[in-house]
Chains A and B, each alone.
Chain A
Amino acid sequence: MAETRFMTINMGPQHPATHGVLRLVLELDGEVIVKAVPHIGHLHRGVEKLAESKTYHQVIPLTDRLDYTNAMGNNLAYVLAVEKLLGIEVPERAQCLRVMMAELQRIAAHLIWLGTHALDIGAMTLLFYNFREREDILRIFEEVAGGRLTPTYLRIGGVSKDLPDGMGEKIRSFVEAFPARMKEYETLLTKNVIWLQRTKDVGIISKEDVINWGVTGPTLRGSGVKWDVRKAVPYSGYETFDFDIPTGSIGDVYDRYTVRLREMEWSNSIVKQALDRLPKGPVLASDPHVVLPAKEDVQKDIAALIRQFKIASEGFYPPRGEVYASVESAKGELGFYIVSDGSNHPFRVRIRPPSFLNLSALPKMVEGRLIADVISIIGSIDIVLGEIDR
């Protein structure tokens, strides 16, 4: 009898289908994976350490660079935590704008996922369609916030500025055109035989396992767990919006695919609802110790100038305590755990990265599968290494 020998191969960190700098060491028995060991950390920038030496306002731009496909969502999670720590109320218009931007961002993030996921499996056409729509969203962000990928739009106490004139119509025309675009994507994939063969019954993970591995987001819901932070612990007024949580049944790649597609439709509907109801009023809270004054006031009023200088250079002093606030980002539950010692710097900023925990369950999904399935499984859990490595 011949002895069995496993072959070890290295995948990444410079591999286009690992979505960044993920390195996998795969042990193979023929073409079947016996063991998969992910190696991460190639993009580690020490964001948590850096945040400890910054004032609370200065941490916001760092959060954009975590999951760089979901900057608005990252901003939101961080400012929610700081607002909870301070105990300040955010005006209704700002909350509505936050929801609108977070949902547009979710659509943009899911579009990148869809395009790259399909590209990995070989369906190249879709990527061009997805980036066409994503470009529309990034143009909206650019006009609203000044930045495309890293808008840093949210502020502690609200958002940095109100929508520019005519923006409402631009967002509305996007929202109205998007359902037809969704149909285009679906024609290409949903009933495509090759797509079905590559995704159906691949990378199955059970309900019990996803919960035990700490997996969140579409991957959790794909396995049939109806859990979404927007519904479970509502923030920014999500409880007043009408939307559903799509779930899958068996937790394979195809289920995660359909969950994300339905999520995009719901996000589109939430943006529309937010547009319809957008209340009038200020976009920043009026707490003078925390919130930066309006730019026009700084140029005219000495008191506002002093306030601007003091908050920008010294920051503010929140009470001692610790808070955890989380949002449903495109990848899953993104949480910020902030410990304050009463000084103007956070004592500790802990980021609960959804992709980190989602990736930790990857070996569970790929072991026993073929090597070609690794590509579609990595694509289906939608990781972003900027967030995993922080």
Chain B
Amino acid sequence: MVDIHPAVRKLQEAFPALTLDVKVFREEVSVTVPRKEILEICRFLYTDPDLQYQFLTDLCGLDFFPEHPRFEVVYLLTSMRKNQRLRLKAKVEEGESVSSVESVWKAANWLEREVYDLFGIPFEKHPDLRRILLWDGFEGHPLRKDYPVEGPDFDKPFVPEV
């Protein structure tokens, strides 16, 4: 493997049974990990004294419709002590859910709500999983690739009920 990112090496040592798919593009390291292990892995990366990924920079979703598995949840971690970045990815099929990492980083609270809102990926054990940018009665998840940019009802007249 070309990669010598310390976090990847450490991860492989700590979880020998896992197959990690490592990609490097423009010096950025992305590691695809099994969906079921994400919480364990995040906790390990957070606590390991050599890594200390204590800052969750970003958490977002990707939709690869019509491929299977359809979604990816992307975690961008930063270790302020070591000044390193690492991107974690977990593949998620439609209807499946991902463990919330809110117990590791509080920052995940709103970020996961946003992914749930715009992609419809549910997070297990999230303390407050509600829509965040759109209102509660909204139908659909706009950042999915099969959601039209104009909205599903752009050509229908809007008549409010009185």
Contact = CB atoms under 8 A, between A and B. Distances in A.
A44 interface: yes
A357 interface: yes
A339 B25 CA distance: 11
A46 B142 contact: yes
A1 interface: no
Interface stretch (B13-21, B52-60, B91-99): B52-60
Given A50-B149, A350-B58, A212 B107 contact: yes
Interface residues of B, number: 35
A352 B54 CA distance: 17
A225 interface: yes
A44 B133 contact: yes
A232 B80 CA distance: 9
B110 A324 contact: no
Contacts of B85: 324
A49 interface: yes
Contacts of B87: 322, 324
B44 interface: no
B107 A360 contact: yes
Interface string B44-85: 000000000011111010110000000000101000100101
B132 interface: yes
Nearest to A364: B106
A146 interface: no
A1 B149 CA distance: 58
A214 B133 contact: no
User: Mostly helix, strand, loop or mixed at chain B's interface?
Assistant: mixed
A337 B89 CA distance: 13
B154 interface: no
A87 interface: yes
A337 B133 contact: no
A168 interface: no
Contact of B56 (A44, A214, A364): A214
A322 B25 contact: yes
Nearest to A48: B143
A350 B119 CA distance: 13
Nearest to A350: B60
Given A214-B55, A337-B74, A348-B62, A41 B133 contact: yes
Contacts of A360: 106-107, 109-110
B83 A232 contact: yes
A170 B61 CA distance: 45
Contacts of B58: 324, 335, 337, 350, 352
B28 A323 contact: yes
Contacts of A53: 149
A129 interface: no
B158 interface: no
Contacts of A389: 133
Contacts of A324: 28, 58, 76, 85, 87
Interface in B110-144: 110-111, 114, 118, 131-135, 142-143
Contact of A322 (B30, B55, B80, B110): B30
A96 B105 CA distance: 37
The 3 closest A-B pairs by CB, nearest first: A214-B107, A41-B133, A321-B25
Given A324-B58, A361-B106, 18 more contacts: A40-B132, A41-B132, A48-B118, A49-B142, A49-B149, A53-B149, A87-B26, A212-B54, A213-B106, A213-B107, A214-B107, A232-B83, A322-B30, A324-B28, A326-B57, A335-B57, A337-B74, A357-B107
Interface of A: 40-41, 44, 46, 48-50, 52-53, 84-85, 87, 209, 211-215, 225, 227, 232-233, 321-324, 326, 333, 335, 337, 339, 347-348, 350, 352, 356-357, 360-361, 364, 389-390
10 contacts: A41-B131, A41-B134, A49-B143, A214-B57, A214-B106, A324-B58, A337-B58, A348-B62, A350-B60, A360-B110
